[in-house]
Amino acid sequence: MKINIAIDGPSAAGKSTIAKRLGNRLGYVHLDTGAMYRSTALKCVNSGISLDDEDAVCEMLKNTEITLTPEGKVYLDGQDVSDAIRTDEISMAASKVSAHKNVRRDLVARQQEMAKAKGFIMDGRDIGTVVLKDAEVKIYMTASAEARALRRYRQNIEKGIPTTDVETIAEEIRQRDYDDMHRENSPLRKADDATEVDTSDMTIEEVVERIYQLAEPFLKKEA
Ligand code: DC
């Protein structure tokens, strides 16, 4: 039997990067649930559906296919949107759609279905608290807003994504943190049984190693 690993935390804490690396090391599949909220937001923006209209967004989702490939690509209704969902505009829009209870219900059900087979590293905001309550390993990953803004800025430049300055990104990150932590439905919080890892002063390798060590006892049982 394989296990599931849940990684939650605020935006740009390094969850996806770490989950991807860990996935390669363990031979597990990384599922970036934020990409599903982002894809939903992108489709709303592209089709003129108000981000505040919960019923309309849910209706739209009934005819929406979101595919996350093991290679990390994101397809929305068959179209590669891997880069299009990473803009600052879509980040803010995703935060808005993710506040709706019934939007979450739809996407959470898809995530739970995907993770049934085990062998997944899922990252998001509510994985340890809602989606995979019984995940064998739960991580709550944090980093200061400044460290996260700098990482996001460098990432944007690297990928050729239009970007604002670091201070503006930090402001947006603080705003999104606040929204994600204070929303009524599944607010971002550390699960009681999660291990907190502050990555501000850690290298990627150090974080991967830390989580690997937490998973190791289960992996031995698995063998
Ligand atoms: O992790 P991210 O920045 O790609 O997430 C985009 C938005 O989606 C973010 O504002 C929080 C929301 N989200 C969520 O509410 N639940 C998840 N499991 C994943 C993301």
**223 vs 12 pLDDT, higher one:** 12
Predicted pLDDT of residue 221? 76
pLDDT(222) > 70: no
- Assign 3-class secondary structure to 181-218: HHCCCCCCCCCCCCEEEECCCCCHHHHHHHHHHHHHHH
Closest ligand 1 atom, residue 123 Cα: 18
What's the CA-to-centroid distance between 131 and ligand 1, angstroms? Answer: 13
pLDDT above 70 covers a percentage of the chain that reads 99
Q: Whose CA is nearest to atom 20 of ligand 1?
A: 34
Characterize 115-154 residue by residue with b for buried, 16 or more Cβ atoms within 10 angstroms of its Cβ, and e for exposed.
beeebbbbbbbbbbbbbbeebbbbbbbbbebebbbbbbbe
What's the CA-to-centroid distance between 75 and ligand 1, angstroms? Answer: 17
> 47 exposed, middle or buried (CB, 10 Å; 0-12, 13-18, 19+)?
exposed
Pick from 8, 20, 33, 185 the residue to mutate for probing ligand 1's pocket: most ligand atoms within 8 Å of its CB: 33
Q: Is 37 in the pocket of ligand 1 (CB under 6 A)?
A: yes
Q: Is 176 in the pocket of ligand 1 (CB under 6 A)?
A: yes
Residue 94 Cα distances to 163, 179, 186, angstroms? 17, 11, 15
Predicted pLDDT of residue 116? 93
- For residue 173, give the amino acid letter: I
Q: Which two tokens stand for residue 145?
A: 């807003």
Q: Is 126 in the pocket of ligand 1 (CB under 6 A)?
A: yes
Q: Is 86 in the pocket of ligand 1 (CB under 6 A)?
A: no
Q: Whose CA is nearest to atom 15 of ligand 1?
A: 98
Predicted pLDDT of residue 75? 98
Q: Each residue of 59-116: pLDDT tens digit? A: 999 999 999 998 889 999 999 999 999 988 998 899 899 999 999 999 999 999 999 9
Q: Is 152 in the pocket of ligand 1 (CB under 6 A)?
A: no
Q: Whose CA is nearest to atom 6 of ligand 1?
A: 34
What's the CA-to-centroid distance between 174 and ligand 1, angstroms? Answer: 14
Closest ligand 1 atom, residue 35 Cα: 4
The helix or strand, by DSSP H or E, that contains position 68, with its residue range, turns out to be strand 66-68
The helix or strand, by DSSP H or E, that contains position 79, with its residue range, turns out to be strand 79-80
Q: Each residue of 15-32: pLDDT tens digit? A: 999 999 999 999 999 999
Confidence of residue 217 (pLDDT cuts 50, 70, 90): very high
The reported pTM is 0.91
Closest ligand 1 atom, residue 11 Cα: 3
